Structure 1
């Protein structure tokens, strides 16, 4: 396995979350409820998996390695900006969810920001997957791919947290509101 393949595997898990988010905002827009605890799990996955694990892998290791060849720098710049955009959407979801939980009617902004996040994820992941293809084919050597894979695997705390986040996604997929 390669560093790029680990990132692609992350994307597969993120796509699962994206489907859950779409289901959630659709239910909210219909005027039905989703448990606050489940929405908080989604926000937790956004911050602890997407931001702290996946984006960190890309921003701290993958992108710098690709950019070191003076290659794909504009694409990397765009992805860094998009990551920050995703973080801001997630922060807004969290902020409005907390207000809603405290008694304010925040259904509409929570649903709106969840929808924005799902749209962002779809667009961003599609572009990044094409970027990975290019980087893999034209820039990174097999030795670099192996080195990144080993670096990604060496951080056992990340592996433990990743397993936990995948279990949260499994849980959300099994809830009645997602299954219906």
Structure 2
């Protein structure tokens, strides 16, 4: 396995989450009730998996390694800007969910920001896949790919957290509101 393959594997899990998010905002717009605890799990996965694990792998290892070749710097800059955009959308989801839990009618903004997040995810992951293709074929050596993979694996707390996040995605996928 390589660093790029690890990031592509992350994307498989993110796409599963994306389907849950789409179902969630669709059900909210249809007036159906989704347990706050499940929406909390979605925001937790966004924070703990996408931001703390996946984006960290990219921002702390992958992008700097690719950038050392003075190649794809504009693409990296664009992806970093999108990561920040993602964080801002996630904050809005949490803010409006908190308002809703406190008794305000914030169903619509929660649904709207979940939808915004899902649109962002689709577009962003497609851009990253294209970036990975270029980095793999034009920049990174097999040794660098292996080194990154080993670096990703060496952080055991991330491995455990990753397992936990995958279990949370499975939990959400099996909820009645997702199954319907």
- The TM tier, using the shorter chain, reads over 0.9
Query: Which residue does 1:113 correspond to in 2?
Result: 113
Q: Distance in 2 between matches of 1:106 and 1:89?
A: 15
**Are 1:4 and 2:4 an aligned pair?**
yes
Query: Which residue does 2:59 correspond to in 1?
Result: 59
Query: Which residue does 2:139 correspond to in 1?
Result: 139
Q: Distance in 2 between matches of 1:54 and 1:91?
A: 18
Unaligned runs of 5+ in 2: none
Cα deviation digits, residues 144-171 of structure 1 (max 9, x gap): 0000000000000000000000000000
Query: Which residue does 1:38 correspond to in 2?
Result: 38
Equivalences for 1:143-154 in 2 at 5 Å?
143-154=143-154
Moved over 2 A (4+): none
SS in 2 for 1:71: coil
Q: TM-score, normalised to structure 1's length?
A: 1.00
Deviation at 1:33, TM superposition (A): 0.8
Cα deviation digits, residues 40-84 of structure 1 (max 9, x gap): 000000000000000000000000000000000000000000000
Equivalences for 1:31-110 in 2 at 5 Å?
31-110=31-110
Deviation at 1:105, TM superposition (A): 0.4
Query: Which residue does 1:123 correspond to in 2?
Result: 123
Query: Which residue does 1:171 correspond to in 2?
Result: 171
Q: Distance in 1 between matches of 2:102 and 2:159?
A: 34
Q: Distance in 2 between matches of 1:131 and 1:52?
A: 20
Deviation at 1:95, TM superposition (A): 0.7
Q: Give the count of matched residue pairs.
A: 180
Deviation at 1:3, TM superposition (A): 0.3
Unaligned runs of 5+ in 1: none
